[in-house]
Amino acid sequence: MTTQPTRITIEARPQCSVARAWAAYTDPGSITQWNFAAPEWHCPRAENDLRVGGVLRTRMEARDGSMGFDFEGTYTEVVPLQRLVYALGPDREVVATFRDTGDGHTEVTVSFTPENTHPVEFQKAGWQAILNNYQAHAESTA
């Protein structure tokens, strides 16, 4: 039996400032534009109380209405323009970091504790697809 890794890490490098990358990642109106893994899905709503103890809530739904789910995390660390940490329940955590690369891009790295229901590669591919959408959105609004 294969054990789950303790963390999965994905990355994007949008061509925009750290301030733009941060805003695209944290603004609820922006989140609804990119927070889905495939074109058949969308994010009809997002709320983001960007402070320690604040909650990030999003809704992902199939565009045809056949299924959907809510996503919720509670912030444990917020360092504006640099780092976000939020808990997905007692045993899972997401860490997002933002770094100016000095070449007009921002390196956005997201690491997360995988859940035990889906295969690791499925989770990594899904989260990376969402981050790719994020990158496209961040660049389109830069």
Q: What pLDDT does 5 receive?
A: 62
14 exposure class (CB count in 10 Å sphere: 0-12, 13-18, 19+): buried
Q: What pLDDT does 142 receive?
A: 66
The pLDDT confidence band at residue 141, using thresholds 50, 70 and 90, is confident
- Mean pLDDT value of segment 106-130: 96
Predicted structure pTM score: 0.93
- For the chain, which residues make up each domain, given as ranges? 8-35+75-140
Strands of the sheet containing 68-79, edge to edge, are 8-12, 106-112, 93-100, 83-87, 68-79, 55-62, 41-48
Q: What pLDDT does 1 receive?
A: 43
Q: What pLDDT does 136 receive?
A: 97
Q: What is the average pLDDT value for the chain, to the nearest integer?
A: 95
pLDDT of 51-94, one tens digit each? Answer: 999 999 999 999 999 999 999 999 999 999 999 999 998 899 99
Alpha-carbon gap, residue 64 to 137, rounded angstroms: 23
- Asked if residue 2 has pLDDT above 80, the reply is no
pLDDT of 4-27, one tens digit each? Answer: 568 999 999 999 999 999 999 999
pLDDT of 22-59, one tens digit each? Answer: 999 999 999 999 999 999 999 999 999 999 999 999 99
**For the chain, what is the HEC assignment?**
CCCCCCCEEEEECCCCCHHHHHHHHHCHHHHHHHCCCCCCEEEEEEEECCCCCCEEEEEEEECCCCCEEEEEEEEEEEECCCEEEEECCCCCEEEEEEEECCCCCEEEEEEECCCCCCCHHHHHHHHHHHHHHHHHHHHHCC
**Homologous superfamily assigned to 8-35+75-140:** START domain (3.30.530.20)
